Structure 1
Amino acid sequence: MNTVPPPRRVLVLTHTGDVGGAETALLRLIGALDAGRFAVQVTTLEDGDLVQRLNDGGVLVSMLDAGRLVRVTRDRTIASPFAVLRNAGDTLRTARRLRAHVRAEKPDLIVANSLKAAVLLAFTAPGTRTPWVWHLHDRLASDYLPAPVAAAMRMLARVGPRRVVANSRATAQTLGRSGRGRTTVAYPGVDASAFHREVSDGRDGPVGIVGRVSRTKGQAEFLDAAEIVARSLPDVRFRIVGAALFEDRDDEEALRRRTAESELLASRVEWAGWSSDVPGELRRLGLFVHASPTPEPFGQIVVEAMLSGVPVVATDAGGVPEILDPASAGGEPIADGVRRTQSGLLVKPGDAQALARAIRWALEHRAESTDAARHAQADAADRFGIERTAAVVEGVWDEVVERARGRRRR
């Protein structure tokens, strides 16, 4: 008589209750996993929208008290020797609580879904004899993290997890020697049907940027480019969708004031605020702009815009070129700092003049932009489906669990 083995028990650890890119990727992944093979529960260090959405999806969630550790940002982590000592104490206390939690739950595998989660598991996992995998959503580079933090995290990747699942080749490359033979790339997948809209030849709508408001996300550069474009194309309208998290609220307020006080921007730029309807926001745009001055690890919003049938302008750094120029073909230079690929335009990051040139070109070459949007939509549906991501991740999880069981049997 054949018996079906029980699903592998997987405990995912993430530090935040907010829903950012890494958490969105996690929610989509859990929804696509084979429930007959993997039983997933999630542990967080704070309450928030993530917990609610996991509960709505029938996922068991538990929360651990991490004290002040939850709200230590990347920059503040090394702000002073006193901060380092204080954070170390919070880390050790939280690790003790996590160790007891893991021993009680007895998972077959633990998954770290953030940098802080990986640090905690480096302290915790050895005492539980439970293998862990790091789902890496951050580039471990000095242009993205403080240099000492990036170096420490690369060392952790070498000695801690059994495997690393990186969200792009660009992210994997920042591991250097630490990732050799231990890293698998699994692009964050998307349900194409949630975003799909037929590409329109006569598409109209504002030029828009969608995402969390932050210095690293490019709203300031977007406004710089909007001012330049407005001088030559006065009828163009711009739309900013998103809101800042607590540590970036002063920056958002400064950008809003700048918009209101600018003769060129005040009547042309709409600040829409946070929206839960990202597909709807993307579908209303005439042109989507990704303007991050800091190289992004991946760029889920770029994929979502492609699936929505919106022409795309995006920064040429980090994981984004893997989305718009997957074969590294180079594309066609069409202006200083701008190159054209089959799926859209790539722009030198942090260069508002180049961004403005790309926006103008896309608006003035409607037929070419529409052709690129059609190609991008089909390509994104083929390469970034959530089913493909789930299959890659399931393979890594299976391998790690089986190897761990083999070691225990010996």
Structure 2
Amino acid sequence: MRRGEAVARSDGQPIWIATNHGAIGGGEVMLLRIAEALQELDRDVTIVAPSHPPTLAEAARELGLDVEVLDSHDRVTWMFALRRWRRRHPDGLLWCNGIVPSTATAGLRRRIVHLHQYPTGLNRLFARLARTHALAMPVPSYDMARAIPGSCVLPNWTVRFSPSTRQRADGEPFVVGFLGRLGADKGVHVLAEAMGELERRYPGQFRLRLAGESRFVDRRSAALVNDALDAVEELTDRVGWAEPQHLLDTVDVLAVPSLAPEPFGLVAAEAMVARVPVVVTDAGGLPEVVGEGHGLVVKAGDVGALADQLAALAFGDVDADLDAQAERWETEFSPDAGRERLARLLERVEQTVPVR
């Protein structure tokens, strides 16, 4: 154990982590990191997951985690199965990783309700219901906490990435990277327009390296993004889904041009540890990730401001301060930092309400 060794240790109480669904998205990535951190804290932890799809359960087993699979084939059957299971297994602490397990077990005791997305529409009601008798309601940023009364902040964390191997040769275009879902909420069309603006100003000096898929993107959003990307097709290398390290080894800057409020911004933190400059918008929790005083924050949706910032980086007019960026990651978003915060949260919860 490294930093903060004198934190909460197990007294034999089990911790069950119930997933939002059986696929793997950003919330499920954090679920696996939380489970691994709990193991490192000598906690007895088990993942509770649906039988369909089996992706998350399989990934958890590959990491050596214990898994309890409940027979279910869609969201409704998963919610009913989870509630029945919890009534039969009331012992220990149930960590509800997302709005679905939180709603399914609303009103039951000995729960932590961990939300990863801003609740909108009907989910606002579900979030209020889920809070009933919850021991704590962690969310990943202060911006999100302000939107959810009664919540507390448990920032996400990332694995440690190696410093980027990218070395731009003289005369080579400045490569702007993007990694994420190819939807309008992620601002991909705004980034495409900014690339078009850069091409008009500085012909041949910028390229876009786009990694991601249109998974979970509605038709209207996909059409908007695709039309914008078609306009800069000659400037764009579309690589499909890519491992973050691979992308970060091939770009000069990472752009996070989100329009919709981001609960956190894992990809920005990943760029920080890989020592890749990162330009973010002011959407949601993104400015919290890069930190106060970070000079590379632009107004969401402002094509000209995004183009200006990318150009300033390319031509050396601003300093990304990669040392400070990496130091901030180490202090705030490393596995050590995440494990310490997790331990403190459990300590507070279990001192207030013993979980037995």
Name the TM tier (shorter chain). Answer: 0.7 to 0.9
CA shift, 1:103, in A, is 4.2
Amino acid at match of 1:108: G
Distance (whole Å) between structure 1 residues aligned to residue 315 and residue 341 of structure 2: 41
CA shift, 1:163, in A, is 0.6
Q: Please identify which structure carries the higher helix content.
A: 1
Deviations 1:103-153 (A, max 9, x none): 444541001111112111106x2xxxx40001121224xxxx22x532x14
Q: Does 1:149 align with 2:154?
A: no
CA contact (8 A) 1:109 1:401 kept: no
Q: Does 1:241 align with 2:215?
A: no
Distance (whole Å) between structure 1 residues aligned to residue 68 and residue 111 of structure 2: 18
Corresponding residue of 1:284? 250
Find the residue that maps to 1:224 and give its secondary structure. helix
CA shift, 1:101, in A, is 1.8
The range that moved more, 217-226 or 156-165, is: 156-165
The range that moved more, 285-294 or 385-394, is: 385-394
Q: 1:162 to 1:390 in 2, by over 3 A?
A: same
Corresponding residue of 2:65? 59
Find the residue that maps to 2:36 and give its secondary structure. helix
Q: 1:271 to 1:246 in 2, by over 3 A?
A: same
Of 307, 313, 321, the residue aligned with 1:356 is: 307
Find the residue that maps to 1:17 and give its secondary structure. coil
Corresponding residue of 1:16? 21
Equivalences for 1:214-363 in 2 at 5 Å?
A: 214-235=183-204, 236-248=206-218, 251-252=221-222, 255-256=225-226, 258-260=228-230, 262=231, 265-275=232-242, 277-326=243-292, 331=293, 341=294, 344-363=295-314
CA shift, 1:397, in A, is 2.4
Amino acid at match of 1:190: T
CA shift, 1:27, in A, is 1.6
Distance (whole Å) between structure 1 residues aligned to residue 200 and residue 338 of structure 2: 44
Higher relative CO (Cα under 8 Å, sequence separation at least 6) belongs to 2
Amino acid at match of 2:256: H
CA shift, 1:376, in A, is 1.0
Distance (whole Å) between structure 1 residues aligned to residue 303 and residue 103 of structure 2: 37
Of 183, 187, 190, the residue aligned with 2:158 is: 190
Structure 1 vs Structure 2 CA RMSD: 2.8
CA shift, 1:97, in A, is 2.4
Of 377, 380, 385, the residue aligned with 2:329 is: 380
Q: 1:56 to 1:34 in 2, by over 3 A?
A: closer
Amino acid at match of 1:222: L
Distance (whole Å) between structure 2 residues aligned to residue 247 and residue 229 of structure 1: 27
Distance (whole Å) between structure 2 residues aligned to residue 35 and residue 115 of structure 1: 26
Q: Does 1:100 align with 2:104?
A: no
CA contact (8 A) 2:60 2:66 kept: yes
Deviations 1:158-208 (A, max 9, x none): 424111112111111111xx31xxx4322111233x343479797975101
Corresponding residue of 2:146? 173
Per the normalisation by structure 1, the TM-score is 0.75
Find the residue that maps to 1:394 and give its secondary structure. helix
Distance (whole Å) between structure 2 residues aligned to residue 105 and residue 13 of structure 1: 13
Q: 1:391 to 1:226 in 2, by over 3 A?
A: same
Amino acid at match of 2:65: V
CA contact (8 A) 2:106 2:131 kept: no
Corresponding residue of 1:37? 42
Amino acid at match of 1:229: L
CA contact (8 A) 1:217 1:293 kept: yes
CA contact (8 A) 2:140 2:153 kept: yes
Q: 1:25 to 1:324 in 2, by over 3 A?
A: same
Q: 1:64 to 1:233 in 2, by over 3 A?
A: farther
Amino acid at match of 1:271: R
CA contact (8 A) 1:221 1:351 kept: yes
CA shift, 1:279, in A, is 1.3
Q: How many correspondences in the alignment?
A: 344
Distance (whole Å) between structure 2 residues aligned to residue 316 and residue 5 of structure 1: 40
Distance (whole Å) between structure 2 residues aligned to residue 319 and residue 196 of structure 1: 24
Amino acid at match of 2:92: D
Where does the alignment leave 5 or more consecutive residues of structure 2 unmatched?
1-8
CA contact (8 A) 1:287 1:310 kept: yes
Find the residue that maps to 1:208 and give its secondary structure. strand
CA contact (8 A) 2:210 2:240 kept: yes
Amino acid at match of 2:345: V
Corresponding residue of 1:334? none
Per the normalisation by structure 2, the TM-score is 0.86
